[in-house]
Structure 1
């Protein structure tokens, strides 16, 4: 998908850059695979705001996406590629030979009419899913499981992928987009190829209202508040907020490391924080 530039017929159109969606399905989603979605406004069951910056937004339907890909050795045909408001990637409607239909994450270079299949070992072709232990070293893949049968958790966002760089003791070594290298069990599934819509990050929404349509409210900077409202607040004139950036509740933020999971430390070979080799 390419980017679409608009003529500056209004201030909101000036600088507006969106992904061109002309190749996507124009109709409604598959009804049997959708469900109504209620908005929370970031509030819990007591009506208290527990997630700031959420509110408004266009009405959405949730599309059930098959992240597990455990329908083995049944070939499916891509019926169409669709827009999904719940994620940055596009989704593909697949009709299997036994008549079942399902949504999957649409990989790059997969179009309407293409065949996809999942199995223990299948052809290394975009859209096909297989066990990581059966993938050749160097394969680009996405929708990677962390626990066998749980469904893909890694590399599901638009344009993302991981690369399989080695094997060791029944596990595979993958390199993530962040630069992290880690072990994953060989029985986990992955889908060949990178996720669709890589130009998602190059969009410019042009006006605040378009972001509000997505359900995001503006957040006030801490330094613009009073001391009673935020640790960065107050001060004479304009201040930078202090030496150590913190959240409104005093927790370190902006790069402070909070990861504390000794059980999975041994799975990480190279941290994403390690200095990159030039």
Structure 2
């Protein structure tokens, strides 16, 4: 993985930073994917219900195995792929029974490495087991919130959790944000942290790159006319003259709590 800063030969490349890697860039695994329908923020009547969406490139959705319920079946990492629907990469696992599944690719998991799920799985990167059998202080990701419910916590690039304590039926984990969660000890988790941790360093460089992601421009309310937004209008440049509100007049910031 190489972080490349472009030379300012054009306006769009002046501040552009891109990551070059050796991910698989050919045909995706069709059995575990589908073409993702995009409604551009419109409801069943064609009316815009979510603003600032529309006009993006076609995407394929990969079904990711967040359950990891193929216990005691050895799997080999066949390839590591880019996923347009998330900031983390995916690993395509070929299991010994012939089935293939996508999983969130952990850091330092490479092609031809092996992974396995189950109670007696060793504490190795990519292996999945119950929180009951994971010692304190080990980095984990793709943690379930309830037994058999599928991974919920720590699925984005560079994220991880840490087990800080345990009791008879529960364990206490700390997310990367510092948030503390109490979870049933029969929930599953994967050893290691999610890869592609340099994703936050990417700079798109120009507005067109954002448009290809399906994100349309956002105009400030103070730059509008009074008929378009409560902040609009005024003589010269104004700051709105009232508390920040949405285009429909509702407060857009929470009220301060009395301490």
- Deviation of 1:88 after TM superposition, in Å, equals 0.6
Instruction: Classify 1:173/1:6 alpha carbon distance in 2 versus 1 (closer, same or farther; 3 Å).
Output: same
Counterpart mapping for 1:11-30 below 5 A? 11-21=11-21, 23-30=22-29
Contact 1:55 1:216 in 2 (8 A): yes
CA offsets per residue over residues 218-277 of structure 1, 9 Å max, x none? Answer: 1111222233333333333323345643333344435669xxxxxxxxxxxxxxxxxxxx
Cross-structure match for 1:269 = none
Structure 1: 5+ residue stretches without partners: 258-278
SS in 1 for 2:245: coil
Cross-structure match for 2:198 = 199
SS in 2 for 1:160: coil
Structure 1: distance between partners of 2:36 and 2:78? 25
TM-score under structure 2 normalisation? 0.92
Structure 1: distance between partners of 2:89 and 2:104? 6
TM-score under structure 1 normalisation? 0.86
Structure 2: 5+ residue stretches without partners: none
- Deviation of 1:8 after TM superposition, in Å, equals 2.3
Instruction: Classify 1:117/1:243 alpha carbon distance in 2 versus 1 (closer, same or farther; 3 Å).
Output: farther
SS in 2 for 1:173: strand
Instruction: Classify 1:229/1:112 alpha carbon distance in 2 versus 1 (closer, same or farther; 3 Å).
Output: same
SS in 1 for 2:233: coil
- Deviation of 1:3 after TM superposition, in Å, equals 1.4
SS in 2 for 1:133: helix
Instruction: Classify 1:72/1:256 alpha carbon distance in 2 versus 1 (closer, same or farther; 3 Å).
Output: farther
CA offsets per residue over residues 91-118 of structure 1, 9 Å max, x none? Answer: 0000001111000000110010110111
Instruction: Classify 1:250/1:190 alpha carbon distance in 2 versus 1 (closer, same or farther; 3 Å).
Output: farther
Cross-structure match for 2:148 = 149
Contact 1:139 1:192 in 2 (8 A): yes
Cross-structure match for 2:9 = 9
Aligned length: 256
Instruction: Classify 1:52/1:98 alpha carbon distance in 2 versus 1 (closer, same or farther; 3 Å).
Output: same
Counterpart mapping for 1:21-100 below 5 A? 21=21, 23-100=22-99
CA offsets per residue over residues 45-86 of structure 1, 9 Å max, x none? Answer: 111111111111111111111111111111100000000111
Contact 1:132 1:187 in 2 (8 A): yes
SS in 1 for 2:200: helix
Root-mean-square deviation over aligned CA pairs: 1.8
Structure 2: distance between partners of 1:57 and 1:194? 30
Instruction: Classify 1:190/1:256 alpha carbon distance in 2 versus 1 (closer, same or farther; 3 Å).
Output: farther
Counterpart mapping for 1:251-270 below 5 A? 251-254=250-253
Contact 1:121 1:131 in 2 (8 A): no
Instruction: Classify 1:231/1:124 alpha carbon distance in 2 versus 1 (closer, same or farther; 3 Å).
Output: farther
Contact 1:231 1:248 in 2 (8 A): yes
Instruction: Classify 1:242/1:112 alpha carbon distance in 2 versus 1 (closer, same or farther; 3 Å).
Output: farther
SS in 1 for 2:146: coil
Cross-structure match for 2:126 = 127
